[in-house]
Amino acid sequence: MNAVITGASRGIGKALAQIFALHGYNLFLCSKTESHLLQTIEELKTAYPNVTIDGKALDIGKKTEANMFGEWVINNADSIDVLINNAGTFIQGNVAEEDEGALEKMLEVNLYSAYYTTRTLLPRMKAQRNGHIFTMCSIASLAAYPGGGAYSISKYALLGFTKNLRQELKEHGIKVTAIIPGAVYTDSWKGSGVAEERIMEAEDIAKIIFAASQLSPQAVVEEIVLRPQLGDL
């Protein structure tokens, strides 16, 4: 069994890599920062010596590099059982005041990375007539909020992409699930003043995604909404 995970070197992506490796999946990972990716791969290989773990450092917000990553996976994996489109970034700001280029950046990293990676891998997944695609959306995909700006726009679009995939792929035996989390304590929250115990852990997201991936072929969870127990910030 093979799992393909983008944005895999830290935070939620790293937690996902750990849980799938723990359960015997070979890993095909991607992250933009090579040093972080190599460190994560080394840690995973030490912890899980019985599975194959490899990765590519690429900026998959760029179409050519997303295609390159997908082609590398196809050339090295005998099957694509799980694809988790987790690459993402966040720039706070309102539409009227946010920096020039914020929308382009958010669309590239949060939407285009998933779109082009998935498109590259779909012919293989359709041929095998199975597999499960997860996309990392956000509660910002569901409701506007002050300071959401381009980030929220990109996450609305990512949820729309996921809904379209679900309709297109259900007859091909491919499952599609949107993950819609609230605040998760990752590096982006460090130094923010928000207590670590106030919001969710990266492992919470990894556990629910792995559980959803283990259902029978005739069952799919279309959307998973997770929030901190005390609610959104």
Residues 146-181: tens digit of each pLDDT: 877 889 999 999 999 999 999 999 999 999 999 999
Q: How high is the pLDDT of residue 93?
A: 76
Nearest CA to 131 out of 165, 85, 80, 72 is that of: 80
Percent of the chain predicted with pLDDT > 90: 81
**Is domain 2-226 annotated with CATH 3.40.50.720?**
yes
**Average of pLDDT values for 48-59?**
96
**pLDDT of amino acid 106:** 85
- For residues 196-214, give the mean pLDDT: 95
**Which pLDDT score is estimated for 189?**
73
Higher pLDDT, 88 or 228: 228
What per-residue confidence (pLDDT) applies to 21?
Answer: 98
Q: Please state, in angstroms and rounded to a whole number, the distance separating the CA atoms of residues 123 and 64.
A: 17
- Average pLDDT, rounded, for the chain: 93
Between CA 160 and CA 61 the distance in angstroms is: 18
Contacting residues for 204 by C-beta, under 8 A, at least 6 apart: 184, 226
On whether the CB atoms of residues 9 and 29 are closer than 8 A, the answer is yes
pLDDT of residue 63: 97
Q: Which helix (H) or strand (E) holds 47?
A: helix 34-47
Q: Where are the domains of the chain?
A: 2-226
**Distance from C-alpha of 63 to C-alpha of 66, rounded to nearest angstrom:** 5
The pLDDT tens digits for 68-124 are 999 999 999 999 999 999 998 877 877 767 788 889 998 999 999 999 999 999 999
Of 70 and 188, the one with more pLDDT? 70
| Whether residue 46 has pLDDT greater than 90 | yes
pLDDT at residue number 185? 84
Backbone angles phi and psi of 16, in degrees to 5: -65, -45
Q: Which residues contact 99 (CB under 8 A, 6 or more apart)?
A: 91, 93
pLDDT tier at 208, thresholds 50, 70, 90: very high
Tell me what the mean pLDDT of segment 183-209 comes to. 87
The DSSP code sequence of 91-135 is: ----TTTSPTTHHHHHIIIIIIHHHHHHHHHHHHHHHHT--EEEE
